[in-house]
Amino acid sequence: MTDDPLDGVRVNETVVIPRDELVARASRAGGAGGQHVNTSSTRIEIVWNVTATRALNDDQRERVRQKLSSRLDSEGNVRVVASDRRSQRQNRESAESRLADLVRVALIVPKKRRATKPSRAAKQARLDSKKRLSDKKRERRWRDD
């Protein structure tokens, strides 16, 4: 999901998050790495402010804020962390990719549902099915002959 470092993080065809809006912090990560793990800061945390970004127009910004409301802090920042790789560069790419995926999914506008009526044949089939079931149950009843 990462393109030219000067360009930014590409979310979709129209949205690119400028790299100067991303705040990246490195810290020590747990997990695999052996002796090297205690001395290197490979965990990457990327913070992006949705409310102050230039990458989104007002409609897109509101949609992202609604969809990601559970992930936003009080200032409107979304935080993505990656520590699954052993290099800082790979973790940064992974975090940027996750951020792009999050925003891409949040920007999807669901299609409007069009109300439809069942066809005459569908109504008849439903009634016929109900009639068959009713007849079957009536046949099961005990009768005094």
pLDDT tens string 70-129: 988 888 889 998 888 878 888 889 999 999 999 999 988 889 999 999 999 999 999 999
Q: What pLDDT is attached to residue 130?
A: 98
Q: Which pTM was predicted?
A: 0.68
Residue 1, pLDDT above cutoff 50? no
Residue 68 lies in a domain: yes
In one-letter notation, the amino acid at residue 92 is R
Place of tokens 């090297």: 36
Residue 31, pLDDT above cutoff 80? no
- How far apart CA 63 and CA 57 sit, in angstroms, is 10
- Residue range(s) defining the domain that contains residue 78: 9-107
- How far apart CA 1 and CA 10 sit, in angstroms, is 6
CATH number of domain containing 67:
3.30.160.20
Residue 32 lies in a domain: yes
